[in-house]
Amino acid sequence: MIYDFDRVVDRKQTNDMKWNSKAISSYVHLEIPENIIPMWLADTEFACAPMIVEALKNRTEKEIFGYCAPMESFYEAVCYWQKKRFGWEIEPEWITYIPSVVAGVNIAVRTYSKEGEGVIIQQPVYDPFASIIKNAKRKVVNNGLICKDGHFEMDFDELERLAERPENKVMILCSPHNPTGRVWTKEELVQVEEICIRNGVMLVSDEIHGDIVYKGHRHYPLLSLDDRYTKNVIHLTAPGKTFNVAGLKGSISIIPDQKIRETFVQTQIAMSLDVKNTFGIECVIAAYTEDGAEWARQEVEYMEKNVDYLEKYLHENMPGVTMIRPEGTFLCWLDLSGLGLSDEEIFQRIIMDAAVICVPGPWFGPGGEGHIRLNLGCPQSMLVTALDRMKRALKIVGLSEV
Ligand SMILES: Cc1ncc(COP(=O)(O)O)c(C=O)c1O
């Protein structure tokens, strides 16, 4: 079956966050213009995959929505998906339902570190990581990414130094990486993990973007690389990004080691995060199937065409704006530093004037200056309009060639 990713779905009357000017205003503390093109929040504009919609309809018809708990079919679906997508054989008992990956990161940070201790992250990175660490009264320890010859890389020497410090107990790895779009190679993953395991650092591997990987690249679940890694790795994932179902709240932790898993679950219960969503469970079961895999394959193929379009457009129309082509994720990290504008001016031109709601680079921490993150998980018509608006808004500042 061929799925239609060009179709525009009207999300305005759906209690949806991305299109809600009030929700956006509360983030940026400014009155957001009408007629926005929202390319900020990391969900897609595609109608949910039909096999999920069908499963939810069938569940609704059962007319009962009491407290729920996943049964065998949920665990089987997760095992099937990891094997099919990544060739990774996992056991059902390693799996725990969590309401969201962010909740999973929060649980892990609070379980494996104490107040005042350090948690290593690699900025610029998905901003809730830093907020979770700060809210838990831990310290953000930045092992900043290096941009070398148009390619983001990890600074392994610095990571080794940071991991050696006894107060740094946890590292959060974003794999694939949001916002730079890096899909870490097997060698890079092994290097990170070897540093962490050698130094007794618990590695929380957020692999929520692992299904969205472009031609020529491959995502490796960290835990699949060596049996020894079960001693210090927490794997977190979800169908949320791949299938655009973040609102259904059905995410997953995979922890092979029984002791580590038990301590994780104890904190989860203590934080009252062991709540489950009926539809989240049904969604996982419906998504992690052969049909789901085919839908995701076509979606990734479509999004890669958006990346092609963006790359060509920037090259032909926006000198001063560059992009390192993402290897995965539907997020594009644009470097506007060539325009000579401050972050405030970039915000004004793109968000306020063009009404293209992207995420300002500084939100991702050091290294984000002069950048924006654009979400390409949308029908191409939306991307075309957004880019034309951005081009015009940048012209407003009187840049000669733009
Ligand atoms: C790296 C990363 N982790 C987690 C999430 C959120 O996942 P969840 O909705 O399951 O908390 C996102 C969403 O943007 C993300 O990019």
> pLDDT tens, 169-224?
999 999 999 999 999 999 999 999 999 999 999 999 999 999 999 999 999 999 99
* Whole-number pLDDT of residue 10: 93
Q: What percent of the chain has a predicted confidence (pLDDT) above 90? A: 91
Among 18, 43, 100, 102, name the best residue to mutate to test ligand 1's pocket (greatest count of ligand atoms within 8 A of Cβ): 102
Which amino acid, one-letter code, is at 152?
F
Please compute the mean of the pLDDT values over residues 108-113 and round it to a whole number: 98
Q: Is residue 202 assigned to a domain?
A: yes
Q: Is residue 396's pLDDT more than 50?
A: no
The answer to whether 103 touches 312, Cβ cutoff 8 Å, is no
Q: Is residue 4 assigned to a domain?
A: no
Q: Is residue 24's pLDDT more than 90?
A: no
Which amino acid, one-letter code, is at 121?
I
Question: Domain tally for the chain?
Answer: 2
Residue with tokens 């969900």: 43
List, in sequence order, the alpha helices (H) in 144-185. Answer: 156-164
* Whole-number pLDDT of residue 402: 44
**Assigned token pair, 195:** 């540093």
Please compute the mean of the pLDDT values over residues 307-313 and round it to a whole number: 97
Give 311-375 as a DSSP string. Answer: HHHHHHH-TT-EEPPPSBSSEEEEE-GGGT--HHHHIIIIIIIS-EE-EEGGGG-TT-TTEEEEE
Q: What is the mean pLDDT of the chain?
A: 95
Nearest to 369 by CA among 348, 343, 334: 343
Residue 73: partners with Cβ closer than 8 Å, 6 or more residues away = 285
- Give the Å distance between the CA of 102 and the centre of ligand 1: 6
C-alpha span between 346 and 366 (Å, rounded)? 17
Same domain? For 109 and 240 the reply is yes
Closest ligand 1 atom, residue 238 Cα: 10
C-alpha span between 92 and 96 (Å, rounded)? 9
Q: Is residue 20's pLDDT more than 90?
A: no
**Confidence band (pLDDT; 50, 70, 90) for 149?**
confident
Find the residues whose C-beta lies inside 6 A of ligand 1.
Answer: 42, 100-102, 126, 174, 178, 206, 208, 238, 240, 246, 251
Which of the listed residues 290, 307, 333 is the one where a domain comes to its end?
Answer: 290
Among 96, 177, 241, name the best residue to mutate to test ligand 1's pocket (greatest count of ligand atoms within 8 A of Cβ): 241
The answer to whether 133 touches 292, Cβ cutoff 8 Å, is no
* Whole-number pLDDT of residue 31: 83
Give 71-113 as a DSSP string. Answer: -HHHHHHHHHHHHHHH-----GGGEEEES-HHHHHHHHHHHH-
Q: Is residue 11 assigned to a domain?
A: no
Please compute the mean of the pLDDT values over residues 63-89 and round it to a whole number: 98
* Whole-number pLDDT of residue 395: 76
C-alpha span between 130 and 123 (Å, rounded)? 9
CATH of the domain at 150: 3.40.640.10
The range of the structural domain enclosing residue 106 comes to: 52-290
Q: What is the pLDDT of residues 36-61, one digit of tens each?
A: 999 999 999 999 999 999 999 999 99
Q: Provide the β-strand partners of residue 252.
A: 97, 237
Closest ligand 1 atom, residue 43 Cα: 14
Which of the listed residues 267, 290, 313 is the one where a domain comes to its end?
Answer: 290
Among 39, 172, 208, name the best residue to mutate to test ligand 1's pocket (greatest count of ligand atoms within 8 A of Cβ): 208
Q: Is residue 318 assigned to a domain?
A: yes
Nearest to 258 by CA among 67, 58, 120, 93: 93
- Give the Å distance between the CA of 264 and the centre of ligand 1: 19
Q: What is the pTM of this model?
A: 0.96
- Closest-CA residue, ligand 1 atom 14, reads 42
Which amino acid, one-letter code, is at 274?
D
Same domain? For 225 and 260 the reply is yes
**Assigned token pair, 209:** 């973007």
Q: Is residue 378's pLDDT more than 90?
A: yes
Q: Is residue 31 assigned to a domain?
A: yes
In terms of Cβ atoms closer than 10 Å to its own Cβ (0-12, 13-18, 19+), residue 21 is: middle
CATH of the domain at 300: 3.90.1150.10
Residue 6: partners with Cβ closer than 8 Å, 6 or more residues away = 379, 380, 381
Which of the listed residues 260, 290, 320 is the one where a domain comes to its end?
Answer: 290
**The pairing of beta strand 168-174 with beta strand 202-206:** parallel
Q: Is residue 206 assigned to a domain?
A: yes
Q: Is residue 308's pLDDT more than 90?
A: yes
Q: At residue 157, what are phi and psi to the nearest 5 degrees?
A: -60, -45
**Confidence band (pLDDT; 50, 70, 90) for 27?**
confident
Please compute the mean of the pLDDT values over residues 69-96 and round it to a whole number: 98
